[in-house]
Amino acid sequence: MRTQVGIIGAGPAGLLLSHLLHLEGVDSVVLESRSREYVERRVRAGVCEQPTVELLREVGLADRLDREGLPHHGFSLRFDREDHRIALTDLTGGSITVYGQQEIVKDLIAARFAAGGDIRFGVADVAVHDVETDRPRITFDGGELECDVVAGCDGFHGTSRGSVPAGVLKTFDHVYPFAWLGLLAKAEPSHEELIYTNHERGFALHSMRSPEVTRLYLQVDPRERIEDWSDNRIWDELHLRLATDGDFELREGPVIEKGITPMRGFVAEPMRHGRLFLAGDAAHIVPPTGAKGMNLAIADVLVLSRALSALLHKGRTDLVESYSDTCLRRVWRAEHFSNHMTTMLHRASDVDDYQHRLQLSQLRYTATSTAAATSLAENYAGLPF
Ligand SMILES: Cc1cc2nc3c(=O)[nH]c(=O)nc-3n(C[C@H](O)[C@H](O)[C@H](O)COP(=O)(O)OP(=O)(O)OC[C@H]3O[C@@H](n4cnc5c(N)ncnc54)[C@H](O)[C@@H]3O)c2cc1C
């Protein structure tokens, strides 16, 4: 079997890359280890920054997003039992749209199949070969895919990054002493906007996926086990951490899903080795506090699709050569912003009162200074692609 671009992974990065390449007249095959049902149900990110939304519109993928997505023009920072609104649109002209990652994945899969795209689900034993030549191969399930280029879009635990010879990649890894317990509940959101809360018992986030489904998060110790968190215990803790002196009542509802995810920052440099290009979580991870993971994956493949189109149509190598540096500039901005949001909002168990006062001072400054709030809003709503 032969194609121009062999793509490993049908997450947002791999699927969008396949779509963008198709628009550029470049063929691809996507190899995915999970089933279609599994990837379409996998609940993860939900905040689309403005450049992501604009790109999805531009490439014909936003019909449902525009109908069902929830545009937000601000969010709340809650601390000392008070809300402080960060007015994204007033401060920067930007906004975000709440639309689940799995909905983007569904839209992408539908668009690829409607255009005759080739996505193979449930493929096992994927391995990458000969990326230092101009005839790389991907083997899987006893089959083989010859291609001009391989795109490793297989997430943090995928196989692509590991196929780069030792010593080529420099990796930066930061494990945070926090994890997020995420809860999806069939309950009307308790507030029309997201609420990021710094509480003495730890961080909490009120978010949503639709007018009927609420997404809530609690900071927990990474060693916690989800079996030890009954639904009642989670709701009790959410009530405590989200309590305010204002008019807010947390609405409860049946729990659809819950799980604990550890938090880390990770970057592999460079994002290219020969004819293997890493994109999205395969190359970098951010803690979710800045809502940047999926958005970065989308930014990477926009750069990659242009570079591959120039290479495969015109033999131009400048854009593939600058691919890694171009992406890494945005990646490190997002790493920094996500770290800033995480350290400002979470309580480490070894934090003394001095550090806590510093945290509150930073929160208060952000909430009351137009300059500080604008900087936060600009990063959150998304810097231009
Ligand atoms: C629990 C959780 C919550 C998150 N919340 C947020 C959030 O609120 N906001 C935000 O912006 N980001 C969030 N993220 C991050 C965001 O979901 C990721 O950054 C995003 O999924 C990256 O997309 P991707 O396509 O690069 O990787 P992925 O979505 O991980 O896709 C990789 C694909 O490759 C497949 N694959 C893996 N190995 C192989 C293999 N060997 N062969 C073939 N296929 C393979 C996987 O099954 C998967 O489908 C969250 C992540 C997690 C895990």
pLDDT tens digit sequence for 266-291: 999 999 999 999 999 999 999 999 99
Q: How far is CA 305 from CA 6, 23, 25, 329, in A?
A: 13, 10, 11, 17
- Indicate if the pLDDT at residue 186 is higher than 80: yes
Q: Is the CB of 30 under 6 A from ligand 1?
A: no
* pLDDT band, residue 254 (cuts 50/70/90): very high
In the residue annotation, 196 being an active-site residue is answered as yes
pLDDT at 351: 80
pLDDT of residue 51: 97
Is there a catalytic annotation at residue 314? Answer: no
Tell me the mean pLDDT in the region 145-149: 98
- Dist. CA 11 → ligand 1 center (Å): 6
Pocket perturbation via mutation, ligand 1, pick of 104, 180, 294 by most ligand atoms within 8 A of CB: 294
Regarding the beta carbon of 292 and ligand 1, being less than 6 Å apart is answered: yes
Q: How far apart are CA 264 and CA 171, in angstroms?
A: 13
Instruction: Please report where in the chains the tokens 């940047």 appear, as a residue.
Output: 292
Task: Find the mean pLDDT for residues 123-145.
Answer: 95
C-beta 101 within 6 A of ligand 1: yes
CA quadruple 318, 330, 301, 51: dihedral sign: negative
56 lines ligand 1 (CB under 6 A): no
15 burial (CB, 10 Å; 0-12 / 13-18 / 19+) is: buried
* 296 in Cβ contact with 334 (< 8 Å): yes
Greater confidence (381 vs 351) lies with: 381
* Other Cβ atoms closer than 10 A to 66: 13
Alpha carbons 261 and 59: distance in angstroms, whole number? 32
Q: Region 85-98: what's the mean pLDDT?
A: 97
**Does residue 380 carry a catalytic annotation?**
yes
Query: Residue 10 Cα, ligand 1 centroid: separation in angstroms?
Result: 9
Q: How confident is the model at residue 157 (pLDDT cuts 50, 70, 90)?
A: very high
The set of residues, in sequence order, having a beta carbon less than 8 Å from that of 148 and lying 6+ positions away, is 4, 5, 134, 135, 136, 275, 311, 312
Check whether the bond before 71 is cis (ω within 30° of 0): no
The pLDDT of residue 150: 98
Pairing of strands 5-8, 149-152: parallel
- What is the pLDDT, as a whole number, of residue 352? 85
Q: Which of 19, 22, 72, 273 is catalytic?
A: 72
Separation of alpha carbons 351 and 186, rounded Å: 35
Question: Which residues does 200 contact at the CB level (< 8 Å), separation at least 6?
Answer: 347
Nearest CA to ligand 1 atom 38: 158
pLDDT band at 232 (very low <50, low <70, confident <90, very high): very high
Of the residues 176, 217, 323, 380, only one is catalytic, namely 380
Tell me if 341 CB under 6 Å of ligand 1: no
Determine if ligand 1 sits within 6 Å of the CB of residue 153. Answer: yes
Q: What integer pLDDT is reported at residue 230 of this predicted model?
A: 98
Looking at residue 59, the DSSP 8-state letter turns out to be T
Average of per-residue pLDDT across 224-246: 97
In the predicted structure, residue 142 carries a pLDDT above the cut 80: no
121 CB-contact burial (10 Å; exposed 0-12 / middle 13-18 / buried 19+): middle
The residue assigned the tokens 């599994």 is 38
pLDDT in tens, 339-367: 999 999 999 888 888 988 999 999 999 99
Label the pairing between strands 47-49 and 96-98.
antiparallel
Q: Determine if ligand 1 sits within 6 Å of the CB of residue 155.
A: yes
